[in-house]
Amino acid sequence: MAQWPLHHRVFLGLLVAGLLLQGLGLRVPAAGGWRAEVKAMGAERSLHPASWPSFLGLESLGASQEPLQIPRNGSAPLLVAVEVFVSNVFNVDILRYTVSSVLLLRMSWLDPRLAWNETVHPRRAFTLPWDSIWTPGLTIQEALWVDWRDQSPRARVAPDGNVELYLALTTETNCDFELLRFPRDLSDCSLSFYALSNSVMELEFQAQAVNEVVSVKREYVLQDLKTQIPPQQLVPCFRVTLSLQNTALKAVLSLLVPGEALLLADVCGGLLPLSAAERLGYKMTLLLGYLVFHSSLVQALPSSSSCNPLLIYYFTVLLLLLILSTMETVLLAGLWAHDRQGARGSPSPAPRGEEHRDHGDSGPPQDQEGRGGEGKGTGRSRAEVADSIFFRVYVVGVVCSQALFAGIWMWVVCKSDPAPGKAAPHGGQPRL
């Protein structure tokens, strides 16, 4: 540590900074999207050039080189390196199509105006309030809200003028989940960061993302992280894409297993003889139970204009199958009862045809009501034949529908319709 700032230099620095302040006037607060955001949250900002160390070569700054303006890099844009550390994805709301995440941004760029001669002032680095120098203002396109953790972060300046600024933020962003395979879905969610106060001629991002999520006890796990510089933008932009995989077992256990069990129970109900009085009660109970399950289930699933969860269709088909099989039971039980009435009227069962089972006692049907199994004494009635045919068709139909859903699940790829906004380039007036 050497004997640095000399008194007269401090005085000179303050003087120049004061002059600069006056020269900048009111343009300062408008610079940068997130500055505006921070301001909107009620934190009053004021400039702190007084906190600049006096050795910062401020004396050499002319009016054309205002420190709050973006550093120039000849005719090329200034390169700002951004590293995005994703430290948490703490909430994924598929009903609202939102993702909440915690990010840390590390931005660094070269501002030669802040460089100092290290041999004269041997100091490794110092920090400055973010609003006393130029910093890129960032706005997240998909964000519903952004909470910048530190209201007045400090930038670290190295002797060569390399500025490093860390920004921690919590944000809730909109994401178009692809929910066709809902309990096992994998979606890409992007966060597009725009520096709206600069043009692509002035500023260029070089982005990189690091997955720093440590917790795995989550429904949605961050599988992959990509960064991208979208081409042909009017304002500098970089995009971070989070690949979120749903790993929850809960939905499988609470939705698929009961659905399959119910269908199986319904198929088994078809094995009860038509004459058994319990069969109708059994099917009705299943249907009623399922109706309750169905409405709460459909409430729990998200929906959209395209690529709805396959489960919605699956459960609707399940409902139709249950209704079909219950209706069949009602109709054929009615027909069976009607046949029995007719059989009581005419004692000979022969004209009904289809005597597959000629064995046993083919006496006249003297038992009318109640206990099952007595119909077979007359051979099989029309209703029973129809029932056995229906049962086979129903089993085939159930198996086919399950196979169809399994096939769609495995092979069909659903791409949502392109967003209307994707066609138009983002940004304000071109400043090219």
Ligand X SMILES: *[C@@H]1O[C@H](CO)[C@@H](O)[C@H](O)[C@H]1NC(C)=O
> Which residues lie near ligand X (CB under 6 A)?
73, 76, 78-79, 110, 117, 119-120
How many angstroms separate the CA atoms of 204 and 392, rounded?
67
Which residues on adjacent β-strands are paired with residue 246?
220
CB of 169 to ligand X, least distance (A): 24
CA dihedral 81, 82, 85, 88 (to 10 degrees): 180
* 117 versus 215: smaller Cβ distance to ligand X: 117
CB of 431 to ligand X, least distance (A): 18
C-alpha distance from residue 393 to each of 187, 211, 282, 284, 326 (Å): 39, 53, 20, 20, 14
**Which three-class secondary structure state does DSSP give residue 357?**
coil
Q: Which residue is nearest to ligand X (CB)?
A: 76
* Number of Cβ atoms within 10 Å of the Cβ of 344: 12
How many angstroms separate the CA atoms of 2 and 121, rounded?
7
> Is the separation of the CB atoms in 264 and 290 below 8 Å?
no
* 73 versus 401: smaller Cβ distance to ligand X: 73
How many angstroms separate the CA atoms of 19 and 237, rounded?
34
CB of 73 to ligand X, least distance (A): 4
* 76 versus 412: smaller Cβ distance to ligand X: 76
* 32 versus 77: smaller Cβ distance to ligand X: 77
Nearest alpha-carbon partner for 183 in 242, 241, 254, 243? 254
CB of 80 to ligand X, least distance (A): 8
CB of 253 to ligand X, least distance (A): 54
C-alpha distance from residue 33 to each of 38, 78, 196, 256 (Å): 9, 18, 6, 46
* 161 versus 397: smaller Cβ distance to ligand X: 161
* 206 versus 416: smaller Cβ distance to ligand X: 206
CB of 79 to ligand X, least distance (A): 4
